[in-house]
């Protein structure tokens, strides 16, 4: 298994273009199941997770073709409605096929995703939502089976917590239901908005985009559409923080800065200079005479549903704060076990104490982290190790980088081009 080897202490200079958002590509690819025909999706990142989703569509009878970042999916003939364990265990977002299959055929069977490295992550909200549309669900042999008698019927649901994929699943199921569906306390993440735009282009009627109350008026028929995946705000944020850790001046192009407002505020408070112009954010962190980046100020964060601080950037922010002067409190409120990266950051010398859902990070002077072999435990934890490795003196070797490949397109290559000393080596 390949590893990443990083020689820290190299400032970043130049520009990186962000790819399409993984978390938008997955629901939008799943949505192609809703309407028979050929759908065209632009800006689809080539990642382990998007390949898994395409494999899943293929198992169900779809065919697809990729030309650069454009993917055409033909869902004219569906031959199956089952997501097997082998795929679901590698990608929890496989549950996203439930909604569109219900909408199209009234039946789906998906292996239960089970626990994962960052917490229990149940699917109860998804099933409660489907139930409100007249769908019956049952569990057997590790699979969840959902079935509707005839056409789904509109209904109302108020989520306890705004769940991203449950909102997306319900939108897709409701698009063809008979009557109106109201989703309250819906997730407002930009990726949900991207899905709403695609569904609208397919002929769906959805009101309330970007708010926590969505109203879907079901239609009888939907048709294929052409859509562009939005830029990956998590990838963009990760690179901004990489510049904060390594120093230098890095332009992050092709992003939507309005999706990064909280992060940009926090980075500015920490002392980084962030310039925003059109679809580009430039992060500067000057380097002092002895070659180390200028100190950062400790800043606290609390993860929250959008537009709050994203849980998917928490691990990276923690790595950055390990290089600040002062004490930073990182409060994780979305997932109960999302501090797996702490033990690995500690191997590099970071001073972090976990107290329940809070991590207390005591910043070290620049260059005080020392490279070591570390292990990636989940996708965003891996990104935090890259950030720490860029800041550390000496060499850091990250193993299990398949986690990173699930969500970052050509990360080593992109960072290398802007001056990082990072290479992928056989494990
Ligand atoms: C999505 C993102 C993931 C991100 C997360 C939170 C995708 C493919 N993944 O995951 O990268 O970290 O949003 O922004 O878009 N919950 C339940 N029951 C449910 C569903 C969720 O209790 O049926 C809870 C979860 O355990 C969690 C909270 O709701 O505490 C929010 O999770 P959710 O928004 O559903 O995360 P995902 O959609 O799985």
Helix (H), strand (E) at residue 72 = strand 70-74
Instruction: Round to whole Å and give the CA distance between 273 and 110.
Output: 46
> Model confidence at 426, in pLDDT bands (50, 70, 90)?
confident
Q: Ligand 1: which residues within 6 Å by Cβ?
A: 23, 26, 93, 119, 121-126, 161, 163-166, 187, 191, 311-312, 334-335
Which pLDDT does position 115 carry in this prediction? 47
Q: Whose CA is nearest to atom 5 of ligand 1?
A: 164
Q: Where are the alpha helices (DSSP H) in 348-407?
A: 379-391, 402-407
> Model confidence at 113, in pLDDT bands (50, 70, 90)?
confident
Structure tokens at 301: 């964060």
CA–centroid distance, 125 to ligand 1, in Å, is: 10
Helix (H), strand (E) at residue 143 = strand 143-148
Q: Is 170 left (phi over 0), alpha (psi -120 to 50) or beta?
A: alpha
Beta bridge partners of 118: none
* Mean pLDDT of all residues in 64-85: 96
Fold observed for domain 22-228: UDP-n-acetylglucosamine1-carboxyvinyl-transferase; Chain (3.65.10)
Q: Whose CA is nearest to atom 32 of ligand 1?
A: 163
Distances from the Cα of 159 to the Cα of 27, 187, 209, 386, angstroms: 19, 9, 16, 35
On the question of a cis peptide bond just before residue 391, with omega within 30 degrees of 0, the verdict is no
How many CB atoms sit inside 10 A of residue 223's CB? 12
> Model confidence at 265, in pLDDT bands (50, 70, 90)?
very high
Cα–Cα nearest to 317, from 255, 387, 262: 387
CA–centroid distance, 9 to ligand 1, in Å, is: 35
Cα–Cα nearest to 311, from 319, 321, 301: 301
- Using one digit for the tens of pLDDT, what is the confidence trace for 366-415? 889 999 999 988 899 999 999 999 999 999 999 999 889 999 999 999 99
- Using one digit for the tens of pLDDT, what is the confidence trace for 282-327? 999 877 777 777 789 999 999 999 999 999 999 999 999 999 999 9
Fold observed for domain 3-19+231-425: UDP-n-acetylglucosamine1-carboxyvinyl-transferase; Chain (3.65.10)
Instruction: Round to whole Å and give the CA distance between 142 and 88.
Output: 11
What is the atom index within ligand 1 of the atom nearest the CA of 123? 23
Beta bridge partners of 427: none
Cα–Cα nearest to 198, from 313, 73, 304, 292: 73
Give catalytic residues, as residue numbers.
Answer: 116
Fold match between domain 3-19+231-425 and domain 22-228? yes
- Using one digit for the tens of pLDDT, what is the confidence trace for 119-169? 556 899 999 999 999 999 998 888 999 999 989 999 999 999 999 999 999
Higher pLDDT, 120 or 101: 101
pTM: 0.97
Q: Which residues fall within 8 angstroms of residue 15, CB to CB, at 6 or more apart?
A: 250, 251, 252, 253, 418
Structure tokens at 277: 């112009």
User: What's the whole-number average pLDDT of the chain?
Assistant: 94
Dihedral of the alpha carbons of 135, 140, 141, 144, in degrees to the nearest 10: 20
Provide the residue ranges of all domains of the chain, joining segments of one domain with +. Answer: 3-19+231-425, 22-228
Beta bridge partners of 252: 16, 281
Structure tokens at 183: 């989703």
Distances from the Cα of 198 to the Cα of 36, 192, 256, angstroms: 15, 10, 18
How many CB atoms sit inside 10 A of residue 65's CB? 10
Which pLDDT does position 365 carry in this prediction? 84
How many degrees, rounded to 5, is the angle at CA 239 between CA 235 and CA 240? 115
> Model confidence at 88, in pLDDT bands (50, 70, 90)?
confident
Instruction: Round to whole Å and give the CA distance between 253 and 279.
Output: 6
Which class for 277: exposed (0-12), middle (13-18), buried (19 or more C-beta within 10 A)?
A: exposed
């Amino acid at each position: 298994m390949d590893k990443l080897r990083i020689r820290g202490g190299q400032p970043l200079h130049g520009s990186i273009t962000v790819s399409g958002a993984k978390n938008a590509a997955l629901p939008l690819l799943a949505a192609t199941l809703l309407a028979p025909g050929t759908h065209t999706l632009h800006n689809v990142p080539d990642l382990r997770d998007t390949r898994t989703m395409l494999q899943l569509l293929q198992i169900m009878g779809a065919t697809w073709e990729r030309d650069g970042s454009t993917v055409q999916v033909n869902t004219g003939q569906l031959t199956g409605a089952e997501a097997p364990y082998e795929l679901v265990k590698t990608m929890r977002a496989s549950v996203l096929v439930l909604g569109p299959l219900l909408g199209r055929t009234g039946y789906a069977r998906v292996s239960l995703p089970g626990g994962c490295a960052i917490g229990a992550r149940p699917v109860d909200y998804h099933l409660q939502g489907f139930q409100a549309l007249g769908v019956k669900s049952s569990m057997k042999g590790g699979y969840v089976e959902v079935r509707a008698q005839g056409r789904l019927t509109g209904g109302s649901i108020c989520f306890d917590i705004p769940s991203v994929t449950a909102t997306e699943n319900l939108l897709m199921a409701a698009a063809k239901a008979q009557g109106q569906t109201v989703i309250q306390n819906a997730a407002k993440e930009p990726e949900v908005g991207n899905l709403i735009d695609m569904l609208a282009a397919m002929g769906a009627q959805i009101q309330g985009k970007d708010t926590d109350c969505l109203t879907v008026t079901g239609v009888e028929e939907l048709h294929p559409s052409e859509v562009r995946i939005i830029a990956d705000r998590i990838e963009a944020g990760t690179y901004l923080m990489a510049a904060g850790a390594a120093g230098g001046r890095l332009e992050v192009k092709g992003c939507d800065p309005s999706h990064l407002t909280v992060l940009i505020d926090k980075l500015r408070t920490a002392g980084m200079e962030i310039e925003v112009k059109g679809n580009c954010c430039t992060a500067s962190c000057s380097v002092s005479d002895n070659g180390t980046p200028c100190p950062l100020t400790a800043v606290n964060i609390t993860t929250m549903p959008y537009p709050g601080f994203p849980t998917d950037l928490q691990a990276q922010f923690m790595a950055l704060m390990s290089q600040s002067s002062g004490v930073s409190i990182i409060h994780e409120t979305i997932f109960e076990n999302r501090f797996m990266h702490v033990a690995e950051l500690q191997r590099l010398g970071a001073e972090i104490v976990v107290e329940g859902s809070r991590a207390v990070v005591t910043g070290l002077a620049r260059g005080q982290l020392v490279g070591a072999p570390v292990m990636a435990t989940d996708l965003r934890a891996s990104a935090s190790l890259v950030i720490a490795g860029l800041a550390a003196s000496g060499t850091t070797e990250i193993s299990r980088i398949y986690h990173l490949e699930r969500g970052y397109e050509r990360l080593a290559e992109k960072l290398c081009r802007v001056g990082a000393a990072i290479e992928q080596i056989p494990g």
